[in-house]
A and B are shown apart, each in its own frame.
Chain A
Amino acid sequence: MKLSFFPVLGVLGAIVVLWYLAVAPMNIRVALDVAERAGAEVVPKGSVVRRDVSVWRLMAQNSGHVAQGYALDRPRLPTPQQVGQELWKTTGKMVQRGRTWSKRSLIYHGWITLQSTFWGFLLGTSVGILGAVLITHLRVMELSLMPWAIISQTIPIVALAPMIIVLSSQVGIEERGVPKAIISAYLCYFPVLVGMVKGLRSPAPAQLDLLKTYNASQFQVFRLLRLPASVPYLFTTLKVGVAAALVGTIVGELPTGAISGLGARILIGDQFGTPLAIWSALFAAAILAGALVTLLDVAQRLVQRRMGGRT
């Protein structure tokens, strides 16, 4: 545990450093535009002219204005600090002011997304596990179900999402959460299905032979051998699945014209040209995903300790 802490910090540090370095070339054009409008001397003059000059040249010729790129209102690439401030402004500060559930609060939007993710995850893992059980027990199912499961994943979810929304409103589902959960489940079930098929098939032939000598029923083989043997696969699979469910929900929020949820925040941020809103929503989504995966990791440790794991 302690040893793995330093490499993680090291990578994080390197990312932050690279990010800060990248801000200068990314924002130099915007910074020069702002400076020129404020009446400062800029080489060459005119935004259109500068479009043909490389960012490196602009930085070299206007070294005095590079620093401005780190403090723009609408930067192309905000600094980590700006993202942090925006995150704080839309979360912690909102809580302090008693406006936790305001439409501008990321906690509110995160909660909306989390709910859909939860239902999508529940639906997706149920379908995935049920499918895996059928596939491992019935040869017919393996031949009929598996190809469709694979084909289902070749269709881009972005193309499918609007159709799911249209179809669900056609059958009279007004609740926005439902199509979102379905889209989320659509992305989530596949890794669970594949992982669980592998897990349920993981017992060695000798272990199956052993149960045969006891004349165990198929259900007993499933309950006493296949299911417990699949537990390590189950958790790995759930971690992938929950991340996929979150992505699915956010994708589901993009084309729905939704006004709440992290996906909606990203879309609105894009439409209104506020990159800070996009970046903070992105980070909120990443933090949410990290929290969900960590939660499952803790659950895995608890379960595996009960199942005689060495940790």
Chain B
Amino acid sequence: MRRHQTGSGLHKTALAALFTVGNTLIRYPWRSVGPDMLGLFLLSAVGALIPALCLYPLFCRLLRRRLSGRRGRLCLAAALALPLGAYALFCVWRSCGDYLNFASGLILPDSGRLLLALGFLGCVVWLSRVSGQGLDAFSLVCFVCVLACVLALFCFGIPHFRPEYFGVRLPGSAAELAGSLPVLLWESFLPLAVLSGYFALAAPRRGERALAGGTAVGCGILLLCVLQTLLTFGASYAAELRYPYSFAVRILSVGQYFFRLEGFSYLLDYAACLLRAAVCLAAARRLLGRFFPRLARWLPPAAGTVIFGIFCLG
């Protein structure tokens, strides 16, 4: 039993880390802030720990207990769970949409758009329905591969780094920070609230350590990617590119025979987006299932079909 719990903590850490990366790298939300990018990223990394430390205990109290006959508690739980479930569905849409646009724009520019959407959404729906242990195993395998790829790509990128592009600058005034706060809130804090909800429903009782640790590790992975992008391109040029990290990796070569290493970075994008979408869908299913158990069973395929339809029409 003890052994199982230790293993589960590691698995959950991996899950939280990949969720934290999610579609953040594809969206590259700091592109609007120019030279402040690295400072804001570090600020958002600190902010990313807030859900793990504050929201998780709250969700545990409200969502994990059985719904009793007390109307006040029921209303409070419903008021929390239903908006969070709806937001989780929105995160599924954003994560899937970002990955599918990225993949159809960069990986398969000329073909396979519908096939790609079908395959990816199929994986999301399937993963959201497997048991917690299945999702954990998938997370750990992906995490090990992703970490190896990110570290290797960072090391290969070192000869291309320009130290003059490095600089940590925080917003100079309250007005500047106020302009960046919505970005931080939207991109890092809110999606991680869904992860806290998922952990409150699915994780063992002491999930906060795995949640906080995983979030910190995820921020570490993001930091490596952001640093690689910044030190290769500089903040202002990186902000002009559509997918800066993929482009920063694309220029790498090892020796005379290994070129175009960006394929390894696709693993990061794929695994992180897939896991974020699957966890969000699983969280929405579980949150909705507290109140409408029969309806919740059909939520993953229905959500997958709707997203597929929108993507096909778009």
A and B part of one assembly: no
Q: Which residues of B contact A (CB under 8 A)?
A: none
